[in-house]
Amino acid sequence: MSVFSRSDRLVVVGHRGGRGPDWPTENTFAAFERALREGADAIEIDARLCATGEVVVFHDPDLKRMSGERDRREVQAVPYLELATRHRAPLLRDVLAFCNDRRAGLNVEVKYDAVDCVRLSAEVCRILGEFPRADVVVSSFDPRILARVRARTDVRLAMLTTTERRWSLPLARALAAARALFSVHLEQAHARARVVRPMVARGVRVGVWTVNEPADARSLRALGASWVITDRPGALMDSR
What domains can you pick out in the chain, each with its CATH number?
10-239 (3.20.20.190)
The average pLDDT across 225-229 equals 98
What mean pLDDT is reported for the chain?
97
Give pLDDT tens digits for 62-89: 999 999 999 999 999 999 999 999 999 9
d(CA 173, CA 192): 13
C-beta atoms surrounding 99 within 10 Å = 23
Chain-centre distance for alpha carbon 203: 20
User: One-letter amino acid identity for 129?
Assistant: G
Q: For 223-236, give one letter per residue: b (16+ CB within 10 A) or e.
A: bbbbbbbbbbbbbb
- pLDDT-based confidence at residue 240 (cuts at 50, 70, 90): confident
Please give the pLDDT value at position 89: 98
94-147 pLDDT, tens digit per residue, is 999 999 999 999 999 999 998 899 999 999 999 999 999 999 999 999 999 999
pLDDT of residue 239: 87
Q: Look at residue 120 in the predicted model and tell me its pLDDT.
A: 98
**CA 150 to CA 176: how far, in whole Å?**
15
Task: Give the model confidence (pLDDT) of 22-64 as tens digits.
Answer: 999 999 999 999 999 999 999 999 999 999 999 999 999 999 9
Give the contacts of 143 (CB within 8 A, at least 6 positions apart): 159, 171, 175
pTM for this predicted structure: 0.98
N- to C-terminal Cα separation, the chain: 18
Q: What is the pLDDT of residues 149-202, one digit of tens each?
A: 999 999 999 999 999 999 999 999 999 999 999 999 999 999 999 999 999 999
CA–CA distance from 157 to each of 46, 153, 179, 185 (Å)?
A: 15, 10, 11, 10
